[in-house]
Amino acid sequence: GAGVSQTPSNKVTEKGKYVELRCDPISGHTALYWYRQSLGQGPEFLIYFQGTGAADDSGLPNDRFFAVRPEGSVSTLKIQRTERGDSAVYLCASSLSGGPSYEQYFGPGTRLTVT
């Protein structure tokens, strides 16, 4: 079966621009997670969806970051007025549920470079 897919794989944008990153979770997975990974670091939690709603957005660094999952499957992470410090790999993961089954499966990530 298909795993988690993310598009684009690479995105280069200029400082101040708006970007959207897309995640397609594993079919049937109700929970979806966004992480950010900087060089030499582990993934850092951003936001978690259970179904269509954001169950925990405590990891979003500021109000320039926003994510949606309108139909409970595909999710889009949106970054406004990008800054050079936003450059990182953005990872998406999904799991069968947000309950006891916490085995999260990751996509390959989108490498964002802000110039």
Partner 1 sequence: GQQLNQSPQSMFIQEGEDVSMNCTSSSIFNTWLWYKQDPGEGPVLLIALYKAGELTSNGRLTAQFGITRKDSFLNISASIPSDVGIYFCAGLSGTPLVFGKGTRLSVIA
Q: Which residues bind partner 1 (CB under 8 A)?
A: 4, 33, 40-45, 48, 55-56, 58-59, 91, 93, 98, 100, 102-109
Instruction: Note the Cα 112 to chain centre separation in Å.
Output: 12
Q: Please state the length of the chain.
A: 115
Select 48 or 65, whichever has its Cβ closest to partner 1. 48
Q: How far apart are the first and last CA of the chain?
A: 37
Q: How far is the CB of 16 from partner 1 (least distance, A)?
A: 27
Q: How far is the CB of 109 from partner 1 (least distance, A)?
A: 5
Select 19 or 46, whichever has its Cβ closest to partner 1. 46
Contact, 29 vs 18, CB < 8 A? no
Select 20 or 56, whichever has its Cβ closest to partner 1. 56
Amino acid symbol at 95: S
Amino acid symbol at 75: S
